[in-house]
Amino acid sequence: MKNLYPPLEPYAVHRIPVDHGHLLYVEECGNPSGLPVLFLHGGPGSGCKPHHRAFFDPQRYRAILLDQRGAGRSTPQGGLRANTTQHLLEDMEKLRLHLQVERWLLFGGSWGAALALAYAQKHPDCVHGLILRGSFLARSRDLAWFLADGAGRIYPEAWQRLLDFLPPQGRRAPLKALYAMLTSKDQLAQRRAARAWLQWSELVTLGEGHQGGPPSAEHVTLEQLHKTQIELHYAVHRHFLAEQPLLDGCPAIAHLPCIIIHGRDDRVCAPEAAFLLHRALPDSELHVLPGVSHVADGEAMINALVDAADRMAGRWAP
């Protein structure tokens, strides 16, 4: 069985200015001469965490961790201005050139998987391959699965609590209603909306054994508020993508090595997404893990991700 590699500290930290006042936080870990891999966090808006460094063999990888616009340690935290998928793709390419990387491996989970696919399809000559976990394809049905059409049928009581939180006129379009509250000038309303969303999203993501969300609006942290604002910003704008671009664009990357890993019990991103992606990339590997949910945690998921990274490193790194 594989385990995460031991904790390690970055050997370099960068703060890279991009447009509209955004400043990107980037760290590099492992071997400066190793195989470059770009870690793409989910959310959108989640930011990178220290344990994300540990998926990669520090002797063979030059691991690059990017906090996307407004997320994590990038500033302005929670910034929504000029924060779209197209901006994130431009940031990734600017980062590649800044770090003088010719080609890199992309390692992305959930929203990070969608971003990895979008970047690879736009810049296939700059990509060695992809490792994708809990793939999100950014179609209308993928977002609906996380709401009333999927998880809402599994957790009907929790979905009803979210609807009951909203004013009656907002219940037909709950995401838009929450987003309006999250971006209002009323700070208490912002935190109440964030709490309502976190109670729902954390339940679906982590399961019934987890106490979803903070106990009160006053306990919503600034980090949680910013993450929620960015996540809903992307959701209400359909992730700034057309209806099915990530599947339609797969022929451009069919030649790239790709390992797709998905939990069978994923209630955030349906396993159907991984199956359709594998069909669109027939030379890819597909691993559907029984009894595994969405998060990059637990023995089976960690084993699969670390093994995938080790095998990818074996293709190029000495």
Residue 93 lies in a domain: yes
Q: Evaluate whether residue 275 is within a structural domain.
A: yes
Say whether pLDDT at 51 is over 80: yes
Sheet of strand 285-289: strand arrangement: 12-17, 23-30, 61-67, 35-40, 104-109, 127-133, 258-263, 285-289
Q: Would you say 40 and 116 are in contact if contact means Cβ atoms under 8 Å apart? A: yes
Same domain, 89 and 72: yes
Average pLDDT over residues 298-318: 91
Instruction: Supply the pLDDT for residue 240.
Output: 96
Distance, in Å, from the CA atom of 69 to the CA atom of 52, rounded to the nearest integer, reads 18
What local confidence, expressed as pLDDT, does residue 218 receive?
87
Task: pLDDT band for 1, please (50, 70, 90 cuts).
Answer: low
CB 315 within 8 A of CB 257: yes
Decide if 207 is inside a domain: yes
User: Where does the pLDDT of residue 317 fall: very low under 50, low under 70, confident under 90, or very high at 90 and above?
Assistant: low
CATH number of the domain bearing residue 256: 3.40.50.1820
pLDDT in tens, 158-198: 999 999 999 999 899 999 999 999 999 999 999 999 999 99
Name the domain boundary from 198, 213, 240: 240
Tens-place pLDDT, residues 66-110: 999 999 999 999 999 999 999 999 999 999 999 999 999 999 999
What per-residue confidence (pLDDT) applies to 211?
67
Give residue-wise pLDDT tens across range 195-229: 999 999 999 998 887 767 788 888 999 999 999 99
Please state the pTM of the whole predicted model.
Answer: 0.96
Asked which of 224, 240, 256 is the last residue of a domain, the reply is 240
**For the chain, what percent of residues have pLDDT higher than 90?**
90
Higher pLDDT, residue 216 or 5? 5
Q: What is the DSSP letter of 168?
A: G
Name 28's Cβ contacts closer than 8 Å, sequence gap at least 6.
10, 11, 12, 13, 14, 62, 63, 64, 65, 99
What are the C-alpha distances in Å from 227 to residues 4, 161, 165, 201, 267?
26, 21, 20, 12, 20
7 in a structural domain: no
Within this chain, do residues 91 and 192 fall inside the same structural domain, yes or no?
A: no
Regarding whether 247 and 127 lie in a shared domain, the answer is: yes
Provide the percentage of residues in the chain whose pLDDT is more than 70.
98
Q: How many CB atoms lie within 10 A of CB 283?
A: 10
Could you report the per-residue pLDDT of 256-283, keeping only the tens digit for each?
Answer: 999 999 999 999 999 999 999 999 999 9
Domain limit, last residue, from 189, 210, 240:
240
Q: Would you please indicate which residues are annotated as catalytic (active-site) residues?
A: 110, 266, 294
Mark whether 294 and 254 lie in a shared domain.
yes
> What is the total residue count of the chain?
318
One domain, residues 128 and 18: yes
Phi then psi dihedrals of residue 258, to 5 deg: -145, 130
Q: Do 116 and 18 have their domain in common? A: yes
Specify whether 208 is located in the same domain as 289: no
pLDDT score, position 110: 97
> For residue 287, what pLDDT is reported?
98
Residues 189 and 179 in one domain: yes
CA 92, 97, 102 angle in degrees (round to 5)? 100
| Residues 188 and 246 placed together within one structural domain of the fold | no
Alpha helices of 254-298 — where are they, by DSSP H?
A: 271-280
Task: Please state, in angstroms and as integers, the Cα–Cα distance from residue 264 to each residue in 134, 138, 143, 271, 273, following that order.
Answer: 10, 19, 18, 6, 11
* Position 24 pLDDT exceeds 80: yes
251 is a domain residue:
yes
> For residue 215, what pLDDT is reported?
80
Please report whether residue 2 resides in a domain.
no
On whether residue 6 sits in a domain, the answer given is no
Residue 143, burial from CB neighbour count under 10 angstroms (0-12, 13-18, 19+): buried
Are 201 and 286 part of one and the same domain? no
> CA separation (Å) from 93 to 126, 151, 270?
9, 35, 29
CB distance 212 to 198 below 8 Å: yes
116 in Cβ contact with 37 (< 8 Å): no
Mean pLDDT score across all residues of the chain:
95
- Domain count along the chain: 2
DSSP category for residue 75: B
Are both 133 and 30 inside the same structural domain? yes
| Alpha-carbon separation of residue 210 from 207, 222, 265 (angstroms) | 6, 21, 16
Residue 158 lies in a domain: yes
| DSSP type of residue 64 | E
- The two most distant CA atoms of the chain are separated, in Å, by 61
Q: Are residues 216 and 258 in the same domain?
A: no
Structural domain for 121, as ranges: 12-138+242-316
